[in-house]
Structure 1
Amino acid sequence: MRNQDPGKMGRQRKSIKLYPTHPLVTFPRSWAKFQEKALLVEETFTIDEVSEVLNGLQAVVHSEVESELINTAYTNVLLLRQLFAQAEKWYLKLQTDISELENRELLEQVAEFEKAEITSSNKKPILDVTKSKLAPLNEGGTAELLNKEILRLQEENEKLKSRLKTIEIQATNALDEKSKLEKALQDLQLDQGNQKDFIKAQDLSNLENTVAALKSEFQKTLNDKTENQKSLEENLATAKHDLLRVQEQLHMAEKI
């Protein structure tokens, strides 16, 4: 064993520092460089020198692995943030399956992919000028979807307007018919009062029975018309609410 210059050992420790890419890839390169510059040149090392080299290697490996894990975690967080933002924009409901995180088969596939990536990174990249590239994304798809939604809302708006107009006409006709029936009842009651003094008691009894039957039938018809009118008014109110909702959706879609 012999003494070693501390400054020289510091330079040797610096020579084994890993590159900031991937620890599994850069560590063999750094170790090979260290062997070439120091281990193959020097014949013997002291215990302190060996311990110092090992401690340096441990610190470098620990630092690089920790940095790589932190960067991977941050990258995953940013990726998930982008996915969630896009899902929120298009009102998508995402579902996660926690059991997939413990799927041994999938984990092995990820490990194989990682090994293949490391192997390919050790090789020199070969540029393929004939390889086709994907066309860049644009906003054409979004604009087309918005235009289709606007057209659909416009068509629904026109249908609701037509339905509203039909219901208004039906309600007006029902009110007119109700007014005519009420006037006919008043005329019938007036005629009955004018003729009561000129009709015999027997004829009067028969006439009263007839009037009662007519009145009952009229009342039934009037009730049916009233219920029909209420139904039409409810349909009219519903159609107006639907029209306002569609117009609001159309207005929001045009703003987008």
Structure 2
Amino acid sequence: MRFARSKRALRLKTVDSCFQDLKDSRLTEDTFTVDEVTDILDGLKVVVHSEVESELINTTYTNVLFLRQLFCQAEKWYLKLQTDISDLENRELLEQVAEFEKAEFTTAGKKASTEISKLKLAPLNEGGVSELLSKEITRLQEENDKLKARVKTIETQPKIKMQEVSDLETSLAKLRADFEKSLNMSSENQKSLEDNLISTKHDLLKIQEDLLLAEKELEKKFQETAAYRNMKELLTKKNEQVKELRKRLSQYEAGD
């Protein structure tokens, strides 16, 4: 309303200046013939017509740009907007707008402005924007939970393999110590220890092979898809979106 009011006032000043210019430039004699008056009025009509037409065109284009901004925002939230052209010529609604302008821009109308300002736009649906934000937050939280679970699974797999290797190395070290202590034992006992040691070494080699294959497979997946880094980045972005939406939701709830 402030923008439209300032543009209207500026254009009216321009129209007033057209009349003033006419007075200063043409009305210099005491009497005029009918043809002279007709010529003066025709010239004034052309100037005023041009000014009014220019303002109407500019107002139309300005409204188009304003509506385009609203439509772009609605498209972002997948909203379906409906318009009723008949309301644009509703005298009662037009008078309400006039009362609103009068109340906003005149000192005497401040009390009326308080009453008019209570009028709110109807919500887009039953829940309005708050419901849309809540649904979007819920959806993002669900995606975050899934990403966290996948990241945790990937991080856990290498830890399990490393723990298995650590346990086997501990067992091997213990067997070596026992073997060294039993050097003076009977050959039968020594043979048993040697068999256990060989069996343990075989188990260790097999686990190391499995671990190496698993590490190569994980490394191949990471090199081909960069899944881990992408999930980390995506998780961070989703968290930022949740924070932003929570902030916006709190603003709407505070307004309600």
TM-score, normalized by length of structure 2? Answer: 0.46
Q: Which protein is bigger by CA-based radius of gyration? A: 1
